[in-house]
Amino acid sequence: AIMAAYHAEWEQRKIDHEATIKFADIAIRSLLVLNGGAALGALAFAGQSLSSGNDAQARALAELIIPFGLGAGLAVTCAAASYLAQMFFTSGSENTLYIRIGWVLQVFAMPIYAAGLVSFGYRLHVSSSVFGSA
């Protein structure tokens, strides 16, 4: 009976862990799509503004490309740290150095994700002022 309870608890933890990984994967991919899409959109609108002779708007939009690209880079960095954390978690038992390294990488990934999200929100606000001045 004790072993059956242990196995049932272990299976539930495994399901919870897999769901957490899937959720993190979706969140990181979403951040990459948001920032990468915004960078491509800013590039497209900058090119269109430049071809229509609106140099000021084209310059303002071009200045948004790098920060949105940086946000996409933060998403990739977060994904890499998350991947490495999972690699270390699955390579060791609970009392090993690998688990500690995994936790450090996981804690490192969280503010990187937050910075990418805040950067996107701020640049979105800035870009709204660019279109408002057109």
Confirm if 122 and 133 have CB atoms less than 8 A apart.
Answer: no
Q: pLDDT tens digits, the chain, 134 residues: what are they?
A: 788 888 888 888 888 878 888 888 999 999 999 999 999 988 898 889 889 998 888 888 888 888 899 999 999 999 999 999 888 888 876 668 888 898 999 999 999 999 999 989 988 888 777 766 54
Q: What is the pTM of this model?
A: 0.78
- Whole-angstrom CA distances from 77 to 9, 10, 92, 123, 125 are 33, 31, 23, 19, 24
